[in-house]
Structure 1
Amino acid sequence: MSSFRWLWVWLLLHLALVLCLMLFNPTPNPHLAKHNGAPGLPPPHSSATIISRRTPPPCSCNVRLLKDFFKNDNGTVKRRQEEYRKHKARASSTLDLLLVAPANSPLQYPIQGFTVVPLKGTPIPGLGVYAPERQIYKVSLVVSRGVLSVKPIGMDGLVEGDGSAYLNITALGADKLNTILGRVHYTSTVYRLRTGDLVHFIFEKHNATFPVVIEQASVPIIFDPGEDINSQVTITTKTFLRYFELNTMIYSIRQYYKTMKIIIADDSFNPIKVNGSDIEQYFMPPAQGWFAGRTLAVSQVTTKYLLWVDDDFYFTEYTKIEKLVEVMESMPELDMVSSMVGRSGFSYRMTYEEGEEDEGGCLMRFRGPHEETVPGFPQCYLSNVVINFFLARTDSLRKVLFDPRLKRAAHSQFFVDAFGKLLIAHCNHVVVDHQTKRPGNDKYLSFRKKNENDENRRLYFFKNHFSCINLRAD
């Protein structure tokens, strides 16, 4: 009998609410319209929030355009444009849109940090209306890549469109309305690793838009650092026809790091086994090149860090790997830190503009690092291009790797590919020496001096979608 009485009370309350709506709100919400057959969806561009997609302006490098080298290769130019459009489709999302919120809005909503797992319902935090008191409160919420629901619906007001892409919520007081808004959930209807949606939040003449990040959390990959430097770092190198230099370097390493693993990628014509403990030597088909060897060596590392060295370096008492590890451990965002090779320790910074879609971007390189230092290490500056003696996080380096099409001198190309992906620093408090060059290795020099300018231009033009590149901008 008691539950029957409560049912009547619930029905009377809702009847009163409907009558109030007819008396005080006889016209529909002017910000809502039927759109694509679904009631409650706003017409296009109805949001008071300014929504726009930034179009990159044209750019220049003050050098010859790369397309000038491909004037007679229409096939390459056409494929480049098509593949770049596919790349943009893969890389762009709703989250790239510029949102400018309206001024003096009574609407409260999340502006950053609202992230949901694909296909899983998540309450929207912070929704609320804080307007002068009125008799009827009515709000609407609209999305495009998910559904909205109130869990549980309760008896605080009327909810229309529960479980769809729109919600109309009506209540007789601000407290009741905000109570319902606190139970609104968003569930994406698309499964993507990272994308987004826009939520339109409408109250009377006020209309705001805020983003939802739809992101599948990734599984972490963590390396056990062990108990000493030998379990933290692997030394990696690539060799080709320089066994005397290679063995000299290994000898110098063993004076200071007797059990640290050394990984060698070897693409010599007549490979010779390198003897010694804690050495892994991987033989490749002959003359595969520097980058193919680097990729092979990096793929075999099982420690948190790897130290990349050339096969003609020489370790001394100033080659303190521990000091580079200390820098990396102090700043978890760092992916790579380099230091000095003898008296040389070049460091460059770069700038990149995306440019127009059909023309391509512009990359410029300048001498010297950025002005910002690594906290606690005033001798270490953030940079974009560093010398070929560096300590790197193994998992970070594997995200960029090395293009095997580049076989000889390809130092700059790696850092071009790594730009925007790796955070790099250059220090000057750790030094490795360079062995004195020996005369007579003519076969090695004949491969080292091969010109790869044509291949470099093709990769910059097609793979990196550059309009131009200036490696000597100052």
Structure 2
Amino acid sequence: MRDPAALIPETMFIPIMDRKSLLVAIVSFILGNTLTTLWCWIPALPCNTDHPVTASHVIGQPRAPAGYEVKTILRTSHQEDANSNLPSDPRVTEYIGEKECVCTGKWHKDFFPPEKWAERQKGQEASLERYTRRRSNFKDFHNQVDGFSPISYPAHGLYVRPLRAVRLQGLQIEWCDSKRHFSGAELQAKLHTRRGIFKLLTDVKTVKVEGVETADLVIRTSIPTLLNLQLQQVVYQNTEFDGNTFDIVEFYFDEFNATIPIHIQHRQVTWLFEQGQGRVQDRVTVVVKAFLRYDHSRQLIHSFRRVQDRVTVVVKAFLRYDHVRQLIHSFRRVQDRVTVVVKAFLRYDHVRQLIHSFRRFYPGTRIIVADDSPKERYQDIKEEYTDHYRMPDYAGFFAGRNLGLSQVTTEYFLYMDDDHYLRPSTKLETLVALLDNTDFHVASGAYEDLEEFASAIRVVGNRTHACFEKLRKHYHEIDGFPDCYAADHTENFFLASTAEVKAVGFDPHPAQARVGHQEFFTAALGRLRIAVCRFVIVGHNKSAEPDPLYEKYRRTDRKYRDMRTTHNLYRDNLTCTGLKYPRIETYALHMMISAVIIICSQQTTNMSVEKKTTPEIFDPDSTPEKTAEYYDNWSGHYEEEIITQLKCTAPRVCAAAVAKALGGPDRGKVRILDVAAGTGSCGEELVRLGFKGLDGVDGSPDMLKLAERKQIYNRLICDFVGPNPLDIENDTYDAIACCSAFAPGHLKEECLPELIRVVKPGGHIVITFREEYLHTVENYRDRLEPCMARLQQEGLWERVTREVFPKFYEDKDGITFVYKVM
């Protein structure tokens, strides 16, 4: 009997099988979705694979190595959204990027009618394009590292101007262990640097931050997105001046770390050449070295004249005479390693005095004299070890420097004006030792009749509107060379490394023929490191009778000054002349300016107290009692005027210096004495940085009453700080913060031993005040720093840093001394 199923056609089985498959599919779909939903709610444990994982990576997407898993934990949270448009602290942002150019003189375009300016601007742009094309500018390349480390960071391309700030853009955490995230464990990121400090544009809610305005910053939070948001607010500010160097930011997260280089460099100026009508003969100079064959030289010149008579031909012709000299000197002597270069013009008596001064102090030193005196006044200088080069008449100041430099064969050369001479205090050994043992390229001294001896130069503005800013100041003291400082600009007396200065050179344009000084130092910005030693004094000869021809040539007229200005603006690619501060600000002028500031602020705030002027409080002969009385009357408006209106940064800088000196995380256990505490503005900054053990001392009762209301001090002492003993035991404090207490009529150097007495061995003393007081206040000029040095020689303390910082208030610079008590 046949099977009944065999009687059913095969096609009849298809609907039955489809119904079963459909049922299975529905059940599988429901079960799979349920399990998937449950799995998404279960915290995923990290994979513990011991072999490498190969996977494709999409740029911009996070990736993790074996043992970790990229999760959605970095997805934006609602808490982050509340902080996405955070305001930035203007005290931080003002130091980021290029400083604004402030024009105080004529603009470049103002020297020309519109049609000529358009043509000149076109030529300048073409020259700038050629200059830029030939120059490798590595700072324009930004290299972002996104590797198997969870840290993304800029590996190249961060640069900052000296003493300014830059945002650490691109620094973030890409992934972390999901187990730690879901368990609520705290994440921690650390940053460390050497030549600067860290600041924050703003604080992110619920994120803990320690070490703001120090070299060590710690950020803690349990939410990865907020950690990244806070990292985006981190700003690096340079605090140790160097015209061209690198600092390193070390970043640590879990067991990973990254190194971020920051290029610190002055903005370099261009060297653009005016191209006339753009013809070859307007842009090319022919240089010929000739020896005896004058017919050939004339034929060469005539061939150029046939082409165009506008070609400039420079022919250097000489007949060599051999001089036999006995070389019996030690190689280590100054005169064997240094050649003197002098640019001379008419003043032959001065030149001979200069040469004779070398015979006295450094006999055997080779001296090169480049002389462009007119032929009717020319005198041949026949002195031993002296090479006298005659130049074309009125060839120019910088042209003579170039000629002299081209003949130097020693490692170093010393440049001097023809009216200089050596004195017993002109210790060239010091300058040689400085160049031998540091990375500086130029070391200068000071003139015998000038108190100010150095300047700072900055190029401020942007690519389309820039100018110079020149300040009478210097930077930090050079380690190992007391009373020698970093600077950007010195006097026309300096020792320099021959090879490096040749690479910069001197602009021989006629604009620098009659006057030339700053142009070399601006060309050296970011290329050469400049130092100045104020105790190396060179003589300045002013005894000769005025020479009418010399005076006529050196006293420039309006036409020459305009030509010089327009040439320099064109060459340096600047739009206008910027700020230039006076060489010497007298004490009387300082008092007048200070008085006006206070009087204006009194009128603004409608002060009800008796109108007093700044000279009263800054009177060098004032008694402590009179000074305290003034502060009593001023106390109610002091912070409004000094901190708010004048934007004094001294309390913040002083507190940051204390934090940097002490270091360490246990700031709550440190004891600090706030000397001249006043209303407690410096104390507030110390508390903000995590310090709690504060005491204060001040001579003004009313100022201390305001400080007491802030409830930040454990003890307040009303007393005058001087040689008299304070009511404090020996070795009590870990640090002293002395902010703005050194001023005319205020603290004197005699108080320093008393400050040392109350600080523990190994503790620190931080002193901050206006930098110019070192030079303008008679009681400090030759007493304060020598006293500090004497105390160090006696073994009572040791200097850690001496740093000049900008904007003590408004445009006045401040200075910070940090000493370690021994």
Measured against the shorter chain, the TM-score band is 0.5 to 0.7
Residue from 125, 128, 131 that aligns with 1:87: 131
**Per-residue deviation at 1:253?**
1.6
> Residue 394 of structure 2 aligns with which residue?
287
State the alpha-carbon separation in 2 of the partners of residues 419 and 383 from structure 1.
Answer: 10
| 1:347-389, Cα deviation, whole Å (9 max, x unpaired) | 1001113613xx342221111112x111111201111110111
> Residue 454 of structure 2 aligns with which residue?
347
Instruction: Mark the CA change 1:106 to 1:282 in structure 2 (over 3 Å): closer, same or farther.
Output: same
Instruction: Mark the CA change 1:339 to 1:300 in structure 2 (over 3 Å): closer, same or farther.
Output: same
SS in structure 1 of the partner of residue 577 of structure 2: strand
State the alpha-carbon separation in 1 of the partners of residues 335 and 358 from structure 2.
Answer: 12
Residue from 58, 62, 66 that aligns with 2:103: 62
Question: Does the 8 Å CA contact 2:341/2:404 hold for their aligned counterparts?
Answer: yes
**Per-residue deviation at 1:268?**
1.2
Which stretch shows the higher mean deviation, 449-458 or 406-415? Answer: 449-458
SS in structure 2 of the partner of residue 466 of structure 1: coil
> Residue 232 of structure 1 aligns with which residue?
337
Residue from 436, 441, 460 that aligns with 2:547: 441
AA paired with 1:75? E
**Per-residue deviation at 1:435?**
1.5
AA paired with 1:298? L
Structure with the higher strand share, 1 or 2: 1
State the alpha-carbon separation in 1 of the partners of residues 443 and 155 from structure 2.
Answer: 35
Q: Residues 316-331 of structure 1 correspond to what in structure 2 (within 5 A)? A: 316-331=423-438
State the alpha-carbon separation in 2 of the partners of residues 131 and 58 from structure 1.
Answer: 39
> Residue 459 of structure 1 aligns with which residue?
567
AA paired with 1:96? D
**Per-residue deviation at 1:101?**
3.6
| 1:416-438, Cα deviation, whole Å (9 max, x unpaired) | 11211111011112111112332
| 1:86-122, Cα deviation, whole Å (9 max, x unpaired) | 3223335565223344487469999479xxxxxxxxx
Question: Does the 8 Å CA contact 2:459/2:468 hold for their aligned counterparts?
Answer: yes
| 1:20-57, Cα deviation, whole Å (9 max, x unpaired) | xxxx99x987669xxxxxxxxxxxxxxxxxxxxxxx87
Residue from 381, 406, 409 that aligns with 1:274: 381
Instruction: Mark the CA change 1:104 to 1:80 in structure 2 (over 3 Å): closer, same or farther.
Output: same
Question: Does the 8 Å CA contact 1:232/1:303 hold for their aligned counterparts?
Answer: yes
SS in structure 2 of the partner of residue 60 of structure 1: coil
State the alpha-carbon separation in 1 of the partners of residues 99 and 482 from structure 2.
Answer: 37
AA paired with 1:383? A
Gaps of 5+ in 2: 1-52, 61-96, 158-174, 178-259, 262-329, 582-810, 812-822
SS in structure 1 of the partner of residue 471 of structure 2: strand
Residue from 404, 407, 420 that aligns with 1:300: 407
Instruction: Mark the CA change 1:471 to 1:234 in structure 2 (over 3 Å): closer, same or farther.
Output: farther
Q: Residues 30-429 of structure 1 correspond to what in structure 2 (within 5 A)? A: 59-63=100-104, 64-72=106-114, 73=116, 74-92=118-136, 96-102=140-146, 105=149, 111=155, 226-270=331-375, 271-331=378-438, 333-344=439-450, 345-353=452-460, 355-356=462-463, 359-370=464-475, 372-405=476-509, 406-429=512-535
| 1:150-177, Cα deviation, whole Å (9 max, x unpaired) | xxxxxxxxxxxxxxxxxxxxxxxxxxxx
**Per-residue deviation at 1:461?**
2.3
SS in structure 2 of the partner of residue 377 of structure 1: coil
State the alpha-carbon separation in 1 of the partners of residues 176 and 542 from structure 2.
Answer: 78
State the alpha-carbon separation in 2 of the partners of residues 235 and 248 from structure 1.
Answer: 14
Question: Does the 8 Å CA contact 1:360/1:465 hold for their aligned counterparts?
Answer: no
Select the structure of larger CA radius of gyration: 2
**Per-residue deviation at 1:298?**
0.8
Instruction: Mark the CA change 1:31 to 1:423 in structure 2 (over 3 Å): closer, same or farther.
Output: closer
AA paired with 2:480? G
AA paired with 1:314? Y
| 1:187-228, Cα deviation, whole Å (9 max, x unpaired) | xxxxxxxxxxxxxxxxxxxxxxx99xxxxxxxxxxxxx9332
SS in structure 1 of the partner of residue 401 of structure 2: helix
| 1:288-329, Cα deviation, whole Å (9 max, x unpaired) | 111110110011011111111111112222122111111211
> Residue 160 of structure 1 aligns with which residue?
none
AA paired with 2:369? I
State the alpha-carbon separation in 2 of the partners of residues 383 and 290 from structure 1.
Answer: 23
Where relative contact order (Cα < 8 A, 6+ residues apart) is larger, the structure is: 1
Question: Does the 8 Å CA contact 1:402/1:414 hold for their aligned counterparts?
Answer: yes
Identity %: 30
Instruction: Mark the CA change 1:243 to 1:461 in structure 2 (over 3 Å): closer, same or farther.
Output: same
Instruction: Mark the CA change 1:99 to 1:308 in structure 2 (over 3 Å): closer, same or farther.
Output: same
AA paired with 1:391? L
Question: Does the 8 Å CA contact 2:144/2:154 hold for their aligned counterparts?
Answer: no
| 1:215-272, Cα deviation, whole Å (9 max, x unpaired) | xxxxxxxxxx933211111111011111111112211221111101011001111322
State the alpha-carbon separation in 2 of the partners of residues 75 and 108 from structure 1.
Answer: 48
SS in structure 2 of the partner of residue 263 of structure 1: strand
Instruction: Mark the CA change 1:412 to 1:112 in structure 2 (over 3 Å): closer, same or farther.
Output: closer
Give the CA RMSD over aligned residues: 3.4
State the alpha-carbon separation in 2 of the partners of residues 131 and 278 from structure 1.
Answer: 72
Instruction: Mark the CA change 1:104 to 1:65 in structure 2 (over 3 Å): closer, same or farther.
Output: farther
User: TM-score, with normalisation over the residues of structure 2?
Assistant: 0.36
Question: Does the 8 Å CA contact 1:67/1:461 hold for their aligned counterparts?
Answer: no
State the alpha-carbon separation in 1 of the partners of residues 418 and 386 from structure 2.
Answer: 14
State the alpha-carbon separation in 2 of the partners of residues 58 and 320 from structure 1.
Answer: 38
Question: Does the 8 Å CA contact 1:70/1:77 hold for their aligned counterparts?
Answer: no
SS in structure 2 of the partner of residue 459 of structure 1: helix
AA paired with 1:241? L
Question: Does the 8 Å CA contact 1:364/1:471 hold for their aligned counterparts?
Answer: yes
Question: Does the 8 Å CA contact 1:355/1:362 hold for their aligned counterparts?
Answer: no
State the alpha-carbon separation in 2 of the partners of residues 103 and 70 from structure 1.
Answer: 55
**Per-residue deviation at 1:60?**
1.9
Instruction: Mark the CA change 1:421 to 1:110 in structure 2 (over 3 Å): closer, same or farther.
Output: closer
State the alpha-carbon separation in 2 of the partners of residues 380 and 93 from structure 1.
Answer: 32
SS in structure 2 of the partner of residue 285 of structure 1: coil
State the alpha-carbon separation in 2 of the partners of residues 442 and 448 from structure 1.
Answer: 10
Question: Does the 8 Å CA contact 2:146/2:152 hold for their aligned counterparts?
Answer: no
State the alpha-carbon separation in 2 of the partners of residues 417 and 317 from structure 1.
Answer: 32
State the alpha-carbon separation in 2 of the partners of residues 100 and 29 from structure 1.
Answer: 16
Which stretch shows the higher mean deviation, 293-302 or 84-93? Answer: 84-93
AA paired with 2:426? T
Count of residue correspondences: 319
State the alpha-carbon separation in 2 of the partners of residues 233 and 83 from structure 1.
Answer: 37
**Per-residue deviation at 1:440?**
4.0
SS in structure 2 of the partner of residue 282 of structure 1: strand
Gaps of 5+ in 1: 1-23, 33-55, 114-129, 133-209, 212-224
AA paired with 2:561? N
AA paired with 1:381? Y
State the alpha-carbon separation in 2 of the partners of residues 413 and 395 from structure 1.
Answer: 19
Instruction: Mark the CA change 1:112 to 1:250 in structure 2 (over 3 Å): closer, same or farther.
Output: same
Structure with the higher helix share, 1 or 2: 2
User: TM-score, with normalisation over the residues of structure 1?
Assistant: 0.61
